[in-house]
Structure 1
Amino acid sequence: MIIQSHKGPYHVHMNAGLPAELAAGKGRFLIDRNVAALHADRLAAPLASGRVVLIDATEENKSIEAMPATIDRLMATGVKRDHVLVAVGGGIVQDITCFLAANMFRGMDWVFAPTTLLAQCDSCIGSKSSINAGGAKNLLGTFTPPRQVFIDPGYLDTLDQREIRSGVGEMLKVHAIAGPDHFARIAAAFDALFTDRAVLARFIRRSLEVKQGYIERDEFDRGIRNIFNYGHTTGHAIEAATHFGIPHGIAVAMGMDLANHIARRSGVAPEAVFRSMHGTLRRAYAGYEELEVPLEDFFAAAAKDKKNRSGDQIAFILPDAQANIVKHPLAVTDSLRAAVAEFFAEERKN
């Protein structure tokens, strides 16, 4: 795949490992510490190069406060402006590397080897990255695409089931955005996503192809790309209200189901739209349907969503009458509160 961006085209190589010349030449590697341990053979050349910074993939390390220490470790590898930063890991390592590439020496090239399903099917393209600052999540960021992405399915072999399910949640989101027929196809293959790597690979690629069509039209997320927040306004609020007691992609699946429920209770979409997706989404967040989500904490978190433009409205992304995903801000009324309370108390459990 070739993705067009404001910095020129970049390539996504499917079923591909990192080129040997990166370890032999100008590559400077930022590698998730757990990935380095689990895939020492796959990463033998980079790890032997002596030009590696191992990253503990925590939110604390993905912060502006942690950047000076990471920069010091990078400088110790002899990094120069014409070198290439190589991120090997999931979204946290991606965000750290992208931020450094955008800012060190006024800009460096970087490449990405995503090792989580969520990163392989979604975040590896799109240019966006964010880091935390002063206790605020994802406050600082940049639009700096990688020069190349290398998607190696071998990394998925060591993911636990929660991480696979988290990636599947994001894939369901992308296919819902693509349209009802696309969602029906991934729903029909739901079980095979966990047992058949060929099926999973096919839907990873299709997820990226769908996203490509939006990010090339709206790279800076000012318009149509906003609908990729489907399941996220609600999902992020669920994560925050539960103190991150649910993995991100699984929260997104629950957030999609809640968004669909809000749409039907608000008259934006009919009952049939909710029912057409509920069964699959319910399976995607199975095991978390009893997780307590305090209502006031949920609305407090949703009110802070960065897509909000009005102080008294939340910028929900909802399905319409034809199950097309659209931006639909709603005021926080008693009826909206009742709909959300109903979902957490009843609908997500049925």
Structure 2
Amino acid sequence: MSEKIKIQSHKGQYSVLFNDNLLSELSGFLNKESHFLIDSNIARLYKTELGPILSSPNTILIDAKEENKTLEKIIPVIEQLVSNSVRRDHTLVAIGGGIIQDITCFISSVLLRGVAWKFIPTTLLAQADSCIGSKSSINLSSTKNILGTFNPPNEIYICTKFLDTLEKKDIYSGIGEIIKVHAIDGASSFDALTNDYDGLFNDKILLQKYILAALMIKKRYIEEDEFDRGIRNIFNYGHSFGHAIESATNYAIPHGIAVTMGMDMANFIAAKRQMLPENQYLRMNPILRKNYSQFSNTEISVDKVIAALKKDKKNTTTMLGLIFPIGESSSIERVQVPADSIFQTQCEQFLQGIKS
């Protein structure tokens, strides 16, 4: 597949380049002005292709774990870059998934008041969703994504051959974000994806089609609202509940799968509160449940979910700012709801119901 998308940002235009031959061309990124931040697992899986880069003194390997995406853990990475004589006219190159993306994007924003960066996403979730949009999100202690910046990469390079070494749960995780984007785009996009869902696991060309489609849908929203102050808020669909589920389970559920569960939870509560017609809830439920079914028996404390929801950055002083599908068209909208006993009961009903 050879495609190119151009994204407009506050720093100018950047490109997303699809290149099936990227693995054999990685050494071309190596020069004295480049500093590499690489997922240690990717370094292990692709040590031959990354050989010259891994031998560079300007390469830093990072375990792509949620606990390493914290301000405390990022400081040693910055210190290593400084030790490696990074300069403002150098470039950081991130090779990995969303965690490596967040770390690199954040560092590039604050180090020397701004260093350019490039991104080679190696997970389906990063390729189909998070790679565009300029955001970095960093955890502080146990609060997820409470810190962050908007700093787009100079270029993004997508090679779906990286997906061949992903665990099955990580494919489900990426598909969860693809489902989210198509739900936002409307019923026809969502229903088309539902019909093609099973093929995404064994048809690479079909999967590439949906990666490209998801990025093109997201492009429309982020170019209109790059700083997430308006319409882009709807891309948090499934995320408030999903982040709370991740936190409540100590990140035992992969992000995109938790988002799928969060979408289903939002739909369930919207139906209970008569914001979403029952027929629309039932239309969307089967594919969402199918995508998180392997984790449906995970023990999830409703008290921990509520506690995490109360920390969400979209809240006001007295209300939870949550994203729900509304009406017969299932349009995605932000709604303020009180964190009262009724809401807690509805959350508990959902969490108990998915186990049956």
TM-aligned CA distance change 1:119 to 1:223, over 3 Å: same
Aligned to 2:16: 12
Decide whether the 8 Å contact of 1:64 with 1:132 is kept in 2.
yes
TM-aligned CA distance change 1:212 to 1:49, over 3 Å: same
Q: CA RMSD in A?
A: 1.6
Aligned to 1:320: 326
Kindly state the Cα deviation for residue 19 of structure 1 after the two structures are TM-superposed.
5.9
Distance in 1 between residues matched to 2:77 and 2:157, nearest whole Å: 23
Kindly state the Cα deviation for residue 349 of structure 1 after the two structures are TM-superposed.
4.4
Kindly state the Cα deviation for residue 135 of structure 1 after the two structures are TM-superposed.
4.4
TM-aligned CA distance change 1:33 to 1:220, over 3 Å: same
Aligned to 1:341: 348
**SS at structure 2 position matched to 1:155:** helix
Aligned: 1:167 with 2:163? no
Aligned to 2:186: 179
Aligned to 1:199: 206
TM-aligned CA distance change 1:139 to 1:342, over 3 Å: closer
Kindly state the Cα deviation for residue 134 of structure 1 after the two structures are TM-superposed.
4.4
Aligned: 1:244 with 2:251? yes
TM-aligned CA distance change 1:294 to 1:255, over 3 Å: same
Decide whether the 8 Å contact of 2:144 with 2:243 is kept in 1.
no
**SS at structure 1 position matched to 2:295:** coil
Kindly state the Cα deviation for residue 339 of structure 1 after the two structures are TM-superposed.
2.2
The CA deviation string for residues 45-77 of structure 1, in whole angstroms up to 9 with x for no partner, is 322333211112223332222233212322343
Aligned to 1:330: 337
Kindly state the Cα deviation for residue 22 of structure 1 after the two structures are TM-superposed.
2.4
Aligned to 1:298: 305
Decide whether the 8 Å contact of 2:26 with 2:49 is kept in 1.
no
**SS at structure 1 position matched to 2:247:** helix
TM-aligned CA distance change 1:138 to 1:43, over 3 Å: same
Aligned to 1:105: 112
Kindly state the Cα deviation for residue 42 of structure 1 after the two structures are TM-superposed.
2.5
Unaligned stretches of 5+ in structure 1?
A: none
Distance in 2 between residues matched to 1:332 and 1:136, nearest whole Å: 18
Decide whether the 8 Å contact of 2:27 with 2:50 is kept in 1.
no
Kindly state the Cα deviation for residue 239 of structure 1 after the two structures are TM-superposed.
1.5
Unaligned stretches of 5+ in structure 2?
A: none
Decide whether the 8 Å contact of 1:315 with 1:327 is kept in 2.
yes
Q: 1:213 aligns with which of 207, 220, 223?
A: 220
Where does 1:1-350 land on structure 2 (aligned, <5 Å)?
A: 1-15=5-19, 17=22, 20-311=27-318, 313-321=319-327, 322-346=329-353, 348-349=354-355
Distance in 2 between residues matched to 1:316 and 1:185, nearest whole Å: 26
Decide whether the 8 Å contact of 1:24 with 1:49 is kept in 2.
no
Kindly state the Cα deviation for residue 25 of structure 1 after the two structures are TM-superposed.
4.6
**SS at structure 2 position matched to 1:329:** strand
The CA deviation string for residues 281-324 of structure 1, in whole angstroms up to 9 with x for no partner, is 1100112222222222211111111111242x221211111111
Between stretches 19-28 and 140-149, larger displacement belongs to 19-28
Q: How does the TM-score come out when normalised to structure 2? A: 0.93
% identity of equivalent residues: 46
Decide whether the 8 Å contact of 1:85 with 1:108 is kept in 2.
yes
Distance in 1 between residues matched to 2:142 and 2:267, nearest whole Å: 31
Decide whether the 8 Å contact of 2:146 with 2:313 is kept in 1.
no
Distance in 1 between residues matched to 2:246 and 2:93, nearest whole Å: 30
TM-aligned CA distance change 1:294 to 1:25, over 3 Å: same
Distance in 2 between residues matched to 1:39 and 1:46, nearest whole Å: 11
Amino acid at match of 2:320: I
TM-aligned CA distance change 1:132 to 1:339, over 3 Å: closer
TM-aligned CA distance change 1:41 to 1:193, over 3 Å: same
Amino acid at match of 1:213: R
Between stretches 35-44 and 196-205, larger displacement belongs to 35-44
The CA deviation string for residues 200-234 of structure 1, in whole angstroms up to 9 with x for no partner, is 11111111111111111111111111111101111
Amino acid at match of 2:160: P
